[in-house]
Structure 1
Amino acid sequence: MMTDQIGNQASPASNSYLNNDGIDELTPMTRRKRVSSLSLSDQWAGSLQMTPTTGSTGNLKRIGSSKLSINNGLNAVRVKKTVIDHVRVASYAFAFDIDGVIVKGPETIPEAKEALKLLNGANEYNIKVPYIFVTNGGGRAEQARAEELSKRLDIEVTEDQVIQGHTPMRELVSVYNNVLVIGGVGDACRKVAEKYGFKNVFTPLDVMKWNPSVTPYHNLTEEELAVARDVDFSNTGIDAILVFADSRNWAADQQIILELLLSKSGFMGTVSDSFEEGPALYFAHSDFVWATNYNLSRYGMGALQVSIAALYREHTGKELQVTRFGKPQRGTFKFASKVLSQWRKDVLEEHVEELTTEEGTSDMEEQSPGDPLLNDPSQNMNRNSKPTLLATESESESDSDNEGLTVEKLSKLTLDLPPASTVYFVGDTPESDIRFANSHDESWYSILVKTGVYQEGSIPKYKPKHICENVLEAVKFAIEREHSKELEEWNNSAVDPDAATTQLSPLTLVEETKVVPKKHSAKFEM
């Protein structure tokens, strides 16, 4: 009987094939510069009191404002507060696992709906907190997952907020022509791969239709025959095997995968003398177990890896080489970081547009005749124009302080959007979620919840920074923690109310060349 850190739940042994990725030897990136806890929108307002920067948030002369307008930016003074409660966008962010945190099998975890509404601004501090979902699950398009979450949680979730285990595999489109996609129901994963842009996508059902003797103990059902395609696999080589989702037929899938791994150039019915000519093998994740509404966890894709690796080693005497995605892999972390950076930009840009639309006319009427922006034609700023935030790739991926997100106005005033002050990652599985959050960047704050794989009273192998009953408790904890940090920083550079008449120096604008945005796609390393 297998027992471990999660009580009655099974998990891979310390010397498991799944633990040969070197993640436990990684040193998390550290911040070389302090990142402000003030909201992004207040930092934006403060940018109206600065000259163009080179990306360091320390160069900002932040004044903070409950509104985002040129008039407030120039003439407002930050006054000490006991609570910060104007509408704004947080400097921190969230990333959530889905299974065991938001949903459990077919059921939605009761506290999840309120938790997400709090992050959308329905909290006592009126702060909007950007968030994304990072799940090792898959088997369907990100848009479909987003639509399901929207329906379950009664909020709007877009596909830009959803990273599934196989999402980073879309970057392989230009690498492989013929791919065999494993997992999921029917040909659902084929459709996802085709949506990503893969040219020739095959499934095990196609192989079984081609030659039923490949898997002699399984006869295709009418439903399976309806989605299986006619392909001659004796003349069609497979370049890569992509395990997108959990296998629905371990026996058949393993038989086909192993035959291809041992083949000559990916052709069925052939055997390589060296066992090194087969297709590359990719897994969307390595979760050994996962939570359903059953009282014990079920074996997942990680267990399938272990099984295939054992069979391969028994047959060849060699260690199976695979490429893994999903949590806790570094490639997925980098991909998620890029996606979160872009989403933070989108949330702030939407907030800016809302405020400029609401306040543009009134601000113009209230503007002082002596405002340098109005009296200097060479530096005229059209306040009714919508600011844009440009996303560019960082010059150095090792610099965790620079996300390469640039805020630009028509006046050529630019500001690098700072990285998230903290990213709270909420998960239910120590081996994937907590390990993921703890291994790559010290600014990520791991929170373990008790609504999924983890069982209360057990000692997790990978220790979270905080443990909560559920996702709602996790969100409330983080909001309170961050408000305390934000309030302290606000008051450290604020004045008492009776000193609020202090005048600020005028804005200095410097023309500079417009930054040309690069492609927004998130990259990963294999």
Structure 2
Amino acid sequence: MLGIKQTKELIAGVLRSQITHRCYSIETGKSLSSTPSSLYSGAAVVFDIDGVLIRGKNAIPQAVKALRILDGENKLNKKIPFVTLTNGGGVTEAEKAAAVSKIIDYPDGLDKDDLPVDPNDGSMSDFNKEKIHAVMVFHDPRDYGRDLQIIYDVLKSKDGVIGNGYENSGKQSVPLYFSNSDLIWSTDFVSPRFGQGAFRACLETLWDKTNGDGGNKLERILYGKPFKVQYEYTENCINSIFNDNGNGRNVYAIGDNPLSDIDGAHNYGWKSVLVRTGVYSDQTKHKYLNSNPTAIVDDVEQAVQWIVDQEVSRVD
């Protein structure tokens, strides 16, 4: 199982795997960062994916046009760099980028080197006797009942060994990490689906119920939007495109989920644009009165055009 070094590497992987940060020209397929003179340095765009560029396995129609605007078809006559920041998981950056590019028919538009993950590395172990150092949730499970039981057994075990039985003190034996906290997310189904946040809520409820009112609360470390650590990493990715510290640059986040995309951007000091093609809609807006998007538009094309208009007015 995981040692301390491997645990730290996996935590770093949580941050990396949620961000695809190469910006490409549609026509040339060359990295925009290799031609800095063609870039507009005054702004960068951070896209959510699900509910903004795609819904399930279907492209949102305005996605390609939005990317072409960023690729230079705009009043600035400059390419505006972008990154994608998603709470979606379960695959590597490269797999996610390839899948999204195929769905929206944007060749070479989103890409990232494979992470060094070998699913066949290591042999089968007797986990009943193996010491487990951490529980890390990278994606919402397919089988809640099975995975809740296994994680609970690990968290309650003596010294992280399931075969030792439960720790009588009620203390949590190993740290618990979640890669995102989205309660719901948008797919191609008509209604939002439960996300990893729903699974976390189930685990927390079971922990509280079985440990009593005065018991130890479940301790967990949370990554993904809307938490600061994710935005710090994303900002570093953006700054690396220009090899600067980002002073004077406007960063615009485009998302469909007010509780993750918009609140996270707002709390970090970015501007945010909320679209109506995913979790948020006119029918659900009463649930998100405390969110503070900079703008609300119908779709990603309108969002990008609004951003360009803001920057044109700033440089005129």
**Match 1:99 to one of 50, 65, 76:** 50
Structure 1 position 158, deviation (Å): 4.5
**Match 2:305 to one of 472, 476, 488:** 476
The residue number in structure 2 matching 1:446 is 272
Structure 1 position 109, deviation (Å): 0.4
Alignment of structure 1 residues 256-405 onto 2, 5 Å: 256-269=150-163, 270-316=165-211, 317-342=215-240, 344-345=241-242, 391=243, 405=244
The residue number in structure 2 matching 1:250 is 144
Structure 1 position 418, deviation (Å): 4.0
Structure 1 position 88, deviation (Å): 4.5
Cα gap change, 1:137 to 1:248, in 2 (>3 Å): same
**Match 2:250 to one of 422, 425, 445:** 422
8 Å CA contact 2:276, 2:282 repeated in 1: yes
Cα gap change, 1:130 to 1:314, in 2 (>3 Å): same
The residue number in structure 2 matching 1:145 is 96
Any stretches of 5+ residues in structure 2 without a counterpart? Answer: 1-35
Structure 1 position 431, deviation (Å): 0.7
In structure 2, C-alpha distance between the alignment counterparts of 1:88 and 1:134, rounded to whole Å: 20
8 Å CA contact 2:75, 2:308 repeated in 1: no
Cα gap change, 1:420 to 1:108, in 2 (>3 Å): farther
8 Å CA contact 2:52, 2:275 repeated in 1: yes
TM-score, normalised relative to structure 1: 0.49
Structure 1 position 267, deviation (Å): 1.1
The residue type equivalent to 2:249 in the other structure is S
The residue type equivalent to 1:157 in the other structure is G
**Match 1:194 to one of 111, 114, 117:** 117
Structure 1 position 311, deviation (Å): 0.4
In structure 2, C-alpha distance between the alignment counterparts of 1:127 and 1:277, rounded to whole Å: 53
In structure 2, C-alpha distance between the alignment counterparts of 1:477 and 1:254, rounded to whole Å: 44
Cα gap change, 1:88 to 1:304, in 2 (>3 Å): closer
8 Å CA contact 1:90, 1:129 repeated in 2: yes
In structure 1, C-alpha distance between the alignment counterparts of 2:109 and 2:170, rounded to whole Å: 45
* RMSD, aligned CA: 2.4
Determine if the alignment matches structure 1 residue 156 to structure 2 residue 108. yes
Cα gap change, 1:234 to 1:418, in 2 (>3 Å): closer
Cα gap change, 1:295 to 1:468, in 2 (>3 Å): same
In structure 2, C-alpha distance between the alignment counterparts of 1:261 and 1:440, rounded to whole Å: 32
**Match 2:295 to one of 466, 476, 482:** 466
Q: For 1:143, what is the secondary structure of its paired residue?
A: helix
The percent of aligned pairs where both chains have the same amino acid is 32
Any stretches of 5+ residues in structure 1 without a counterpart? Answer: 1-66, 69-86, 162-190, 201-228, 346-390, 392-404, 406-416, 488-526
In structure 1, C-alpha distance between the alignment counterparts of 2:300 and 2:239, rounded to whole Å: 22
Structure 1 position 241, deviation (Å): 0.8
**Match 2:60 to one of 103, 109, 119:** 109
Cα gap change, 1:440 to 1:313, in 2 (>3 Å): same
Higher Rg: 1
Aligned residues: 273
Provide Cα deviations, 1:430-468, integer angstroms capped at 9, x if missing partner. Answer: 111111111122xx1111000000011523231211001
Q: For 2:94, what is the secondary structure of its paired residue?
A: helix
In structure 1, C-alpha distance between the alignment counterparts of 2:300 and 2:176, rounded to whole Å: 35
TM-score, normalised relative to structure 2: 0.80
